[in-house]
Every structure is written in structure tokens, then in C-alpha cells.
Structure 1
């Protein structure tokens, strides 16, 4: 039987070549000889993660932790899996455990910073990046994270400098190019962002991170979208309490100054539908259609479908003034756009996504019932439709203030 570490050079070489399936085969051979090897279990978890086998990957990482509770890399592997599965609280707990066991690994700070960035904790993300760079000054991922955190804090010059530093260490990395693209986008340089995303996709045509950025850069060519996103990035520098106060304050101002209602409604519409609206506009060009993912195209189809139903209902109502239920059909179709867009924003399969989805189904059932009752000219249709409106408003406010 070979020494327990003899397999590591082969596995590390395969991992560096992104040959995760072959690395997994090597690791399974090792585990057949020594099923209690925590290193092999943790590395196998990473291989399975890269092959999108999340459930099996999690089992391997948890087994590695069970076999060696002091093994920091096993907790790091588990954190990567939880992060990929859109479970930020569990990912944060795992990476904090890894750092408690080994506070001197730059990769651990990189993941910690990513989690903080995604949760809107810009200062904490910046601190994680700076701590990690203190351990490894040439870590391109940490330079990119540093740049993103600075951009989100409204420090464009420092962010641009940090992005250039990342490129100086790993210009041939798709991830680094994409990070530079996001920094350029968040600091109002959409043309430069487009170049970085194109280069990132040239280096890795399968990169979802780069493709999402490319779509954002293409949408930023529209000045309305670009202006709205500049506001979104600016508001991201504010605390949650201040953002909620702004939202409620705007609503109160409109109550007392009705002339501002059109501006407020336009802002609400953009807040909910800017992404899918401009993604639908991208479908006009062949390049835009190719840039969109299947998921974005599907969302666009659903969005345009509901708009078509609303337009059809209004058209029938205008053409045949006495046609019952058509005005209700139009308003229900427009109202259902909100739970639909709310569900899109959530990671698929998560509990929040499931709740949002079922809320949407419930609203659709109530709305369609009101339309059916309206077609039959029953007076109760108005009461049922009112229940639909109340449900849609509650959903909108709950989601907006979540």
C-alpha cells in the first residue's frame, strides 16, 4: 500500500489542469485503500463541487470534518459547497471555523470577503481582502475583491488601481478579467467593462460570472439603465436602515406631493423590472441574444408573455366595451409581474425561493378566480380582485423591505 500522501502530487496536478473527474478517480482509488483519509475526502469534495454534485460533495466534506475536526481545509471545502448552494449563513460559519483553525491562509480570507461582499457588508469585505493581502500580496483574487469592495464604497480611483493590480498578477485569468469588468461597470465605465468581459469569455467561454457581467455591460449602453444602476450602486454604500428610510420617505413625500407620483412609479418600475426589461431589449440584436443565458431568455419570455396578456385584455376591452372581465385580466397580468420578478431574484431551490414561488401561485389563483367571476358578471369578482390587489401590495412591500 502506498504512503497516504503519495497520491497528492498527481491529484494537485490534475486539479491545476481543471481535470476534476480524473482527480476524483485518483482520490477514490486512495479511499479504497484508506477510507479514513480526511485529506482525500476533502479534496474529493472539491472535485465533486466542480462537477456540480453538491449533495455528494457536502457528504464528503462533512465526513472529512468528522474524521479530522482539526483539519481546516475540510471546513474550507464545506464553506465552498455551502456558498455554491446559496446558503450564506452556513458558508460563513464554515469559513469562520476554517479561519479559527488556520488564520494564515489567504484563500480563506478570499472566500470570507466574497461572502461579506454578497451580503452587502462592504467594509467587512474590504477588511477581509486587506488581511488576506497581508498574507499573500500577489493573490489576484484578493486584489479583485479589494477592488470590488472599494467600488461599492464609492471610491472609484482606489478601486481602479486595485483592479489594475489584480490584472498585473493574473491578466490571463478569466475570473480576474471579469472582476476588473465589474469594477469598471460599478465605477461608470461601461465600455471598458465590456472589453474586460469579452476577454474573460475568450479565456473561459463557460464562465457564468463573465457572461452575467457582459449582459450588464450591454444593458449599460442604455442611459436610462446606466443612470438607474449608478443610483443602485450609490445606495449600496448606505446602511440598510438608511435605504429603508429612503424608500418609506419617498412614499410619504408622494402622498403629500401627488405631482411626483409619475416619477415615483417610474422608480418603482425600474426597481423591479429594469433587468428583465433591458434584457428583453437586448434580444433585438443577434449579439445581445447570444449573450443572454437560457435563464435570462426564459425570464424575458415570461415577462413579455404577461405584458402581452395585459395588452390583449386592454385591447379587447377597448374594442368591445361591454366585454366582461377583460379589464380585470389586464390588471391581474400586470400585478403578477411583481411576484414573478421577486422569485427571479432569489437563488433557485432555496427556502426563500420556494416561499416566493408559492406566494406567486397563490396570487395567480386568486387573480384568475377574480377574472373568471368577472367574465360571469358576478358582483363578488370585485371583492376577490381586491384580495388579489392587497396580496400583491403585501408581497411587494415584504420583498422590498426584506
Structure 2
């Protein structure tokens, strides 16, 4: 006799109602304590709900009774991958494949892990192995499109995309993934279309919502350039990323020295500002993108309250920095220059304070921004503008270290 609780749980699971499915699986388990299927789907439900700790506990219990289960090692690999334990995840999926080398989705997950390690050729081989088993496996096809895009094999990527959409025309993940691939290829309108389709099928799909927001922000040429740079940097190995950053810094220092030596120091100032914007782009781009979306008739609806506040504050600080900068060049008044630098430096901590999820962290960042503003905007009247401006810059540099520490705790 079939377990009615398990049958109902599976129906809810297939509908994506994971939270509602878990109690039915637990009732089925109460009736049959050794029900492997119920335990497996409870763990999988917790994975879908992004509760990796509970999923991991169940998987570890399952391994005690089923030490040679490929499915359990597959789940453990998913959990480790979501916890950024990349080497452990790779070891677990390799073990799952050794136990069951005939399941395409295992190779799809292996490709995802290799993709995260930027081992694109190995990842492509894994997808092809999976597709030999099941030519319509969604994870393998989606990963193949991503990998081919990373390898700049755009024609093959586009061909794979056609296969994805033909096989999964109503799958929100496939549409969202195609949207991200199109975004990386610079096809903004195509990306928007697929993100819209994904959100039509699942309005709460965060992966698609983030993609839609990114695509709308990409209409701004400044953000589009930054996004192109981000995609390019993401494709490079850590070694080459550092070589590029150090090389860029050395080139910047050389240009500043040449300009200063030839009496062109005034040209060094905008160069320094441009370099700082580039070097700190990752810090300010989230708040800048919030500001961009505020003025988009569709994009503003993708922002929550904190993101809107961040956007308004960033826009106000940026306009203030530009206005005081212009006044400084016109009137040659040092205090106005300090004001311009202060508002420019405030672009880092002040808008980001609204993105802090931990209340104490938010208070800390607001307090830090207030100290920076006090030193620059009020301190200039009591100490020399040079000292006030230097103090603000020192606080900015310190924040780039403190900020990483604070956000790592979020």
C-alpha cells in the first residue's frame, strides 16, 4: 500500500512548495522510519529553501545507513558547493559519479563546480559527458551555454541556447540563464526579454530579478562599461587579475610622475580621481546602480526600501561632489576642494550603510560616515584644509579595510 503522506509530499515538491511538502514527508517518515525516499526529499527540500545546515544534518544521517548512495553524495556536493567549499564539493561529486556514472545531472553539477574554479575546458568536457547520457539535461545545457560564452565561442553558445529554449520553453531557470548569457554577450534587449519570461513563470525568482535589474542598469553607458569589465575580470584567473591590477597601478603612478615632472600637475588631479573611481568601482557600483534604477520607469519597482534610500543618498553625494569641485576650480578656495573630496569619499560608506543587514553593522557604518563628514565639512573651519582633506582620505583608506571585515560578518 502506497504511503499517502509521501504521495502528497511529492505532489507539493513537484509544484515547488517545498516548505509545505516537508511536514508530509516527516509524517511519511513517522510511519516508515527507514523510508530513504522521504529523508532524501526532506534534505532536497531544505536545499531548495537554502537551509544548508539542516540538509547537511539529514545527509550525514543518511550516509550512516547508506554509505554507498550516489544520491546522498550528490546532495552533499550541492550543499558543499552552496557553502563555498569548492574542493570538498568536487570530491563529493566525483565520488557520486564513481558510484553512478550514468546520471547526467551529476556531470552537470561537476561542470558547475569546475566553472566556479574557472576551469572552462574541463567544465565543457563534463557537460559533454552529461549530454551524452541525456541530450536534454537542463543543467548540462545551461552550463554549456555559460562555458562557451566564457570561452568566447559565441556561435556555439547561441546554438546551445536554442536547444535550451526548445527543450525547456517554460522553465524559469533556463530563461534566466539565457538572459545572463545574453547579458555577458552585450545583448541587453535579448537579456531583458528572457528575464521577463522567467519572472512571468516565477515572479519571486531572485536569480531572474537580479538579472532584470542588472540588464536595466546596463542601459546606462557607465554601468555597461563596468559590467563588461566585471565579466572580463571574472573570466581571468586570480593570478592574471593581480597582474592586471598591479600593472594598472604602476602605469597610473608613472603617468602621475610624468605629468608632475613636466609642470602639468593640474592634469594629475582628474587622473587620480579616475583611478580612484576605477579602483573603488566595486565599492560604489552597487549604490550607483541603485541611483540608475531610481530614474528608470521600470527599474524603480525592482528596488526595495533600503536600495532606494541608498540610491538617493549616492545621487545627492555625487551631485554635491561635482558642484563643490566646479566651485573649487572657479573660485580657487581650498575649503571647497575639501568639501568636494569629502562628498566623493562619502560615496563609499554612506550609501552602503543602507545595505547592511545586521543592525549593529549598519549603525557602525553610519557612524563612520558621520565621522568622515565631520572631519571634512566641519573640521576644515578649525584646522587647515590640507589636514582636513588628508584626514578624510586616511579615513577612506581605513574604511576599505574595515568595510571588508564588517561585510564578511553579514
Instruction: Please give the TM-score of this superposition, normalised by the length of structure 2.
Output: 0.76
Q: Secondary structure at the match of 1:257?
A: helix
| CA 1:12–1:128: 2 relative to 1, 3 Å | farther
How far apart are the structure 1 equivalents of 2:366 and 2:250? Answer: 31
Q: Give the stretch that moved more between structures: 119-128 or 144-153.
A: 119-128
Q: Give the superposition deviation at 1:223.
A: 3.0
The answer on whether the counterparts of 2:350 and 2:369 sit within 8 Å (CA) in structure 1 is no
Gaps of 5+ in 2: 257-266
CA deviations on 1:215-256 (whole Å, 9 max, x unpaired) are 122122223332332333334333322221111111111111
Name the structure 1 match of 2:72: 74
1:274 aligns with 2:285: yes
Matched, 1:285 2:296: yes
- Quick one: distance in 2 between partners of 1:162 and 1:246? 32
Q: Please state how far the C-alpha of 1:59 moved relative to its aligned partner.
A: 2.3
- Counterparts of 1:100-115 in structure 2, within 5 Å, are 100-115=98-113
Counterparts in 2 of 1:279 and 1:153: CA distance versus 1, 3 Å: farther
- The residue that corresponds to 1:335 in the other structure is 345
How many angstroms does 1:14 deviate by? 3.6
RMSD between superposed Cα atoms in Å: 4.3
* Structure 1: tracts of 5 or more residues without a match: none
- Please give the residue correspondences for 1:288-327 in structure 2 after superposition, counting only pairs within 5 Å: 288-290=299-301, 292-294=302-304, 298-302=306-310, 304-305=312-313, 308=316
1: CA distance, partners of 2:377 / 2:192: 48
CA offsets per residue over residues 25-49 of structure 1, 9 Å max, x none? 3321222133344432221111233
Contact 1:277 1:300 in 2 (8 A): no
TM-superposed deviation, 1:88: 4.6
Counterpart CA distance in 2 for 1:383 and 1:178 is: 46
Match of 2:263 in 1: none
Q: Partner of 2:105: helix, strand, or coil?
A: helix
Q: Residues 336 and 223 (structure 1 numbering): CA distance in 2 closer, same or farther, change over 3 Å?
A: closer
| 1:287-324 per-position Cα deviation (integer Å, ceiling 9, x unaligned) | 1112x243xx52452354256467669989989x9xxx
Select 1:374's aligned residue among 374, 379, 385.
379
Q: How many residues align?
A: 386
In the alignment, which residue of structure 2 is the partner of 1:226? 224
2:194 corresponds in structure 1 to 196
Match of 1:19 among 14, 17, 20: 17
For residues 132 and 341 of structure 2, the distance between their equivalents in structure 1, rounded to whole angstroms, comes to 57
Which residue of structure 2 lines up, in the alignment, with residue 59 of structure 1? 57
Residues 66-116 of structure 1: CA deviation (Å, up to 9, x unaligned): 332222222322333444455555544543443343333222222232233
CA shift, 1:162, in A, is 1.0
TM-score w.r.t. length of structure 1:
0.77
Q: Mean alpha-carbon deviation: is it higher for 325-334 or for 250-259?
A: 325-334
Alpha-carbon distance change, 134 to 218 in structure 1, aligned in 2, over 3 angstroms: same
Alpha-carbon distance, 1:9 to partner? 5.7
Q: 1:175 — aligned with what?
A: 173
Moved more, 307-316 or 96-105: 307-316
